[in-house]
Chain A
Amino acid sequence: MDSRRSSRAVIDPKVRQVGFFTSAPLPPDRTQSDPPDPIRSPPLADASSPGNSLSPVMIPPPRHPSDSLLRLPHSPSDAFPPPSPTTTTTSLGDFSDDVTAASSPPPAAARVRGRGSSVKQQGAASSFPGGGFEVPPSVKAPSSVPASGLTTVSVVKLPPGISENAGGSVSVEVQSDRALNSKPLKEKTSKAERRAIQEAQRAAKAAAKAEGIKTPAVTALANAKSAKSTKPSPQRNDSAVVVAASEKKGGDRSVEKDRKKDVPHPRMQYDDKSRVQKLKKRSVVKPTEARNRVELFRHLPQYEHGTQLPVLQSKFFQLDTLHPAVYKVGLQYLSGDICGGNARCIAMLQAFQEAIRDYSTPPAKTLSRDLTAKISSYVSFLIDCRPLSVSMGNAIRFLKSQIAKIPISLSESEAKATLHSDIERFINEKIILADRVIVKHAVTKIRDGDVLLTYGSSSAVEMILQHAHELGKQFRVVIVDSRPKHEGKLLLRRLVRKGLSCTYTHINAISYIMHEVTRVFLGASSVLSNGTVYSRVGTACVAMVAYGFHIPVLVCCEAYKFHERVQLDSICSNELGDPDSISKVPGREDINHLDGWDKSENLQLLNLIYDATPSDYVSLIITDYGMIPPTSVPVIVREYGRGQLWIYEECDPLASPGRCSDAVFFVDGLIFYPSQHLVLSFWFPDRPPSGLNNDLLERSDNFVTVAENGNFTNFEL
């Protein structure tokens, strides 16, 4: 006993530190870089190296205020040399050359693209009725193949009609806007100081603009007016119905207020009678409500679909407030000719582009306010046709913020051109380029001999599979399909055409087929902040079974579809499809048990469109920022969600060598921007940029050494 007691006395009581404690020294800061900015852990980027299994997320630190302030006044001149016509976007040719996955779209896509570009190239409003708009009945044509074409991302060409001045000024403005937006997050200064900084920035911005436009006479005016340009912002978000008014200003709000504003608005609940009445008064389409509604889904709009289309068509000539392009897109949504998050978003944005082009400000109104209202009315029309997807919501939010940012000093045509190219850039960079990056990432996860399972039809997954096939990888695809849309058949057709070996089955057989699968690739309509993947109904089933079989589930989703909402089940928020398509099985006439079901009170047919996959089932989300675990989604949303819209600078070195003078190229294809601490995009190592090879440096896991003007600099990644 004694010995035991003494031994116990000798041992010091174990002190456990629980919770936060600061006694431990912080790990040594390894930054020796010369930008005086050790605030954040610098970005860690491994975007496309095939060796690493998991690319970490790239979180670039914001630029230091002093840095950005110092840089800004002269940045337009040195960082962005006189713009050439090709600066803003790559042309179509470049794109399809680089990413072969997107090549050779089906005939319908080609048709759409051809039509769109032809319209835009003429560039005048007069060309529109002939080329752009189709008579509604032809829209309705239910042939499966043309519809399938639209689900792939159609490639958009930049109209050459935009003057180079405008293009240049846009890019400059965007650049300085980013500096503006990222700055206040980190800065804790007094109000007066912030005011002063803002003024300085506005001055810089105006100066930059003046330089871009090369009309010095405007400078003074712009300078004077831009000081006021942010004033009308609080009143601007009056008419938005669903789209959260979220224009972010570099105004004098505190960070906390901004964050509070970021909280998404509660969505429209359709069991709220008074609000539904209000909405009905406003809406163009008067949908008849479905008779047998499922009790659980009363909060969602559930209408009978068959009646809407003819009503809309008959109203075509009465709806003069609507732009025909918007009208057409609405009809296409309604009839299901355009489906898939990317395709719908692109179609909507292009319709808005046309609408903006034909827009003229009514007298005694300001462009930004009137146009915002106009867009809002278009949006509510589109919602009537089909509820918005998250991707569309994000795009609309972006467009509105861009409209709000237009300074009053800009003339109408310039403003329209600016918006036009903004939309163009959004499509290019957030959707098309993002898909390219996703393909690049995802292909590294495909090995020879793999059996890849995919569900439904996702444009991103399709591009991945095609690209991997073109790279000569030997793999087999299992396409799992489900009722009632049978989107997998369309995908199957396209893949078989391409010569991929495919296995087709339905979702009930998933447990049977999962034995032979090695990877599951899924698309997503949206990824929510808690890691939930919101996607085509059935995705959760597939992911669950894959999880049960210990097979990795890779979700491919562009970052513009991320949303800060959270969701735990598939019932709170969903979309209801046409119930009639449940009762009828096309091609199976023997299944007619439910003919005349609507006579019965007791039977309801439920056609859910989406479901929510819990993040447990998701191994990896492949997005344009790299491959991230689902837990990192809120980080992406937070860091890139609002202000920073231009993450991927279109920096094809061959197209625009001048603009890349700032950038550093790595042998593995990354492009690094020292001034912004960003690994922004990548080039294709098989086409090295000319004249910049001196800067191509090896990099270790954590550091890059950059030779810049003879000085060697270390950057932590």
Chain B
Amino acid sequence: MSAIKETTPVPIQDTKNDIKESKLDDSKKPAKKEKVVNPDDLIDMITFDQLLDMDDEDDHEFSYSIVLNYFEQAEGTFKDMDHALEKKDLPELSRLGHFLKGSSAAIGLKKVKATCEKIQNIGNRQDETGTSELTESEALDKISPLLPQVKEEYAEAEDYLKNFYDVQDSK
């Protein structure tokens, strides 16, 4: 019980301290502290905490498995997205975006979720705000850069989570 108590507050404190630094550097600093330096805008701690809540007391097996599962899912989705973009299949892209958006939100990965939402909307030929219509070419144009972006953001989140669990395991 005490172990968990110590671990959960720590990331928050660390990240808060490091927000200032990371905003300047815009990079991770894994060596500085025990935890990965990641600002709050990468991951929503409230949601992530709830996921951790579902774990048994000292054991993060469940949430870790969820996270691992998510990694698999995401990587598969990215591949599918690439294929869909090649085929210029906007509806498929939209569906995939929606799909991954859900899982990302469940874990609390804010950036990934936001980008997925954009992909979903544009795939539906709506612009990012979801209001006006887009032509197919417009949509495809808008979507293309989003894919690498989401992958990048995903990589960020992946690192963070891996570190989180690595640290957890070591403790």
A and B from one assembly?
no
